Every structure is written in C-alpha cells, then in structure tokens.
Amino acid sequence: MARIAIDREHGLLTVEFQGLDKLWTLKSRLEIPLTHVRGATHDPGIAREPKGIRVGGTHLPGVITAGRFRRDGERVFWQVKNPGKAIVIELADAETYDRLVVEVDDPRAAVALIDRSISHS
C-alpha cells in the first residue's frame, strides 16, 4: 500500500511505499513536482489493463503488479495488489513516468487530496 502526501512548501507529491511493497516495487518513495500532476482518479478496473513490458519490479497476475512497465511508449509505475483501492495519477511533462497506478487505503480521500492540491498550485 502507498501513502500519499503533499508538501506545499516544496511543491511535491510524495508517494511512500509501506512494508513489503518497497521490495516489490524496488522503491521506497516517489517524489513528483505538483506542477507535473494533471489529476487523479479512482479506477478499480485499471488492473485488467494490459501492463506491457516489465522494466523492473514484480508481476504475478491476479496477485500483485509492482514496479516500472512500458507499453506503447508510455511509462507507468504500478503498485497494486487490491484493484478496488487503485488510483491513477496522470502526469504531464514527466521526466520518469506518464502515470502512477498505486493502491491506497482510502482512494476517494487520496484523489480529493491530489485534486485539491493541484487546483491550488
């Protein structure tokens, strides 16, 4: 599971991975400038989307998708075990990823936090 935090002072969206997710994703956290965040949505159906080629991380279909994937030129970072809690964070001018697909404890609250933060940046 991921924890989403907003640092308004530094203009950053932080996605911090908890427990074994650090191992599966090969990352402990991602920091994205708020100016690169276009929005977020709660999307339980995203888990059925083709993942593409795994660049680094873990993929056990139906169990976990975690790490970096490429599909049709798009770079996507995944961290999902429970698709019902998946959110998609769309990025613009991304240096590393086009989208982040992460599992959070409360998808609606995370989406609202992100959307509020980018409307004020």
State which fold the 2-119 domain adopts.
Answer: PH-domain like (2.30.29)
Kindly indicate the confidence band of residue 120, based on its pLDDT and cuts at 50, 70 and 90.
Answer: low
Report the predicted TM-score, pTM, of the whole model to 2 decimal places. Answer: 0.93
d(CA 36, CA 104): 20
> Domain spans of the chain?
2-119
38: three-class secondary structure by DSSP: strand
pLDDT tens, 5-34?
A: 999 999 999 999 999 999 989 899 999 999
pLDDT tens digits along 35-85: 999 999 999 999 899 999 999 999 999 899 999 999 999 999 999 999 999
Torsion, Cα 113 85 33 74, to 10 degrees, reads: -140
